[in-house]
């Protein structure tokens, strides 16, 4: 393969979904404040009834696009046109191919970081760090019970009816003139299919440390609800453009994929 691909190669790649095999994921759910969600969601996304967020740390030992890597992410529950989904605020990864595919195709706000996820018996621990700051620290004890039993029951019922996840991202590129965007920012809707082979639940701790370049602590954690640890196969389905954002309205939100300039 050189710098130029044939039409046959392009067509073959376009027909492939992104597949993750034996993906290991620790997801921690938490409650934040409604005013936090309202401040961080770009229009036309709207808050849901409950101000719920989620953070995960994952190991991907095998994919169909040729890379293995670690990933973490921060989400807020959001609604668009009556459908609930997860809006991605940040998604650090350890591989540049994973970064490029996620950012340029789906609009995921990815950055390169150091990420770790470990298990010792029923104890899980993980962290994410960039530029010398460990801004995400997570722990879980897989007791089978959430910190909040009501949330656990609600999650079990939801996953039994539909384990897939609707994700919202904004796809945009700054103009080379530095005074706007190449096009109106596009709201992307995408679905990830989850097929867990094993699932364990437990109590969790979650800490967002202050960081100049990765301000996860802007999302205040009111209380941690619980943790889910899964191993299984995931599929990223093709996304679609479901709306466009006004360039002026979206401008304050357009700095999630880059570090602050000195």
Residues 46-102: pLDDT tens digits?
A: 999 999 999 999 999 999 999 999 999 999 999 999 999 999 999 999 999 999 999
Burial-class residue 154 by CB neighbours within 10 Å (0-12, 13-18, 19+).
Answer: middle
Residue 190 CA neighbour count, 13 Å, CB half: 23
Asked if the bond preceding 44 is cis, omega within 30° of 0, the reply is: yes
Does residue 244 surpass a pLDDT of 90? Answer: yes
229-241, pLDDT tens digit by residue? 999 999 999 999 9
Per DSSP, which regions of 131-185 are E strands?
133-141, 165-171
Domains of the chain: 17-253 (2.40.400.10)
Eight-state DSSP code of residue 4: S
Q: What is the pLDDT of residue 5?
A: 86
Per DSSP bridges, beta strands 83-93 and 165-171 are: parallel
Question: Is 252 buried (19+), middle (13-18) or exposed (0-12) by CB count in 10 A?
Answer: exposed
Q: What share of the chain is helix, strand, coil (3-state, %, to 5)?
A: 20, 50, 30
- Cα separation, 166 vs 169, in Å, equals 10
Q: 161 pLDDT band (50/70/90 cuts)?
A: confident
Kindly state the tokens that stand for 145: 């019970």
Chain-wide mean pLDDT for the chain?
A: 94
Is the pTM above the cut of 0.85?
Answer: yes
Residues 151, 163: Cα–Cα separation, whole Å: 16
Q: Using CA atoms, how far apart are residues 133 and 135, in angstroms rounded to an integer?
A: 6
> What mean pLDDT do residues 3-23 have?
85
Which pLDDT score is estimated for 173? 93
Grade residue 261 by pLDDT with cuts at 50, 70 and 90: low
**In this predicted structure, what is the pLDDT of residue 262?**
56
CA dihedral 102, 111, 216, 57 (to 10 degrees): 70
- Identify which has the larger pLDDT, 30 or 152: 30
Residues 230, 127: Cα–Cα separation, whole Å: 17
Dist. CA 213–CA 207, nearest whole Å: 16
Q: Identify the burial level of 242 via C-beta atoms within 10 angstroms of its C-beta, where 0-12 means exposed, 13-18 middle and 19 or more buried.
A: middle
Q: 197-225 burial, b for 16+ CB within 10 Å, e for fewer?
A: eeebbbbbebebeebeebbbeebebeebb
């Amino acid at each position: 393969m050189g710098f130029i691909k044939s039409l046959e190669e392009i067509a073959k790649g376009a027909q492939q979904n992104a597949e993750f095999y034996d993906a290991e994921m620790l997801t921690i759910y938490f409650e934040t404040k409604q005013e936090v969600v309202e401040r961080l969601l770009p229009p036309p996304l709207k808050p849901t009834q409950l101000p719920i967020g989620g953070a995960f740390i994952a190991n991907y030992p095998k994919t169909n696009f040729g890379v293995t890597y670690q990933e973490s992410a921060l989400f807020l529950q959001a609604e668009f046109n009556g459908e609930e989904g997860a809006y991605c605020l940040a998604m650090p990864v350890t591989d540049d191919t994973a970064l490029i595919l996620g950012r340029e195709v789906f609009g995921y706000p990815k950055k390169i970081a150091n990420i770790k996820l470990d298990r010792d018996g029923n104890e899980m621990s993980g962290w994410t760090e960039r530029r010398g700051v460990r801004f995400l620290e997570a722990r879980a004890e897989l007791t089978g019970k959430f910190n909040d039993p009501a949330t656990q029951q609600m999650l079990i019922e939801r996953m039994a009816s539909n384990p897939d996840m609707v994700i919202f991202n904004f796809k945009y590129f700054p103009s080379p003139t530095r005074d706007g965007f190449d096009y109106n920012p596009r709201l992307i809707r995408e679905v990830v299919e989850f097929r867990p082979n094993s699932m364990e639940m437990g109590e969790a701790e979650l800490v967002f440390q202050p960081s100049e370049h990765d301000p996860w602590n802007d999302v205040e954690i009111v209380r941690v609800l619980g943790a889910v640890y899964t191993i299984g196969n995931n599929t990223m389905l093709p996304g679609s453009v479901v709306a466009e954002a006004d360039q002026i309205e979206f401008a304050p939100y357009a700095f999630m994929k880059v570090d602050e300039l000195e």
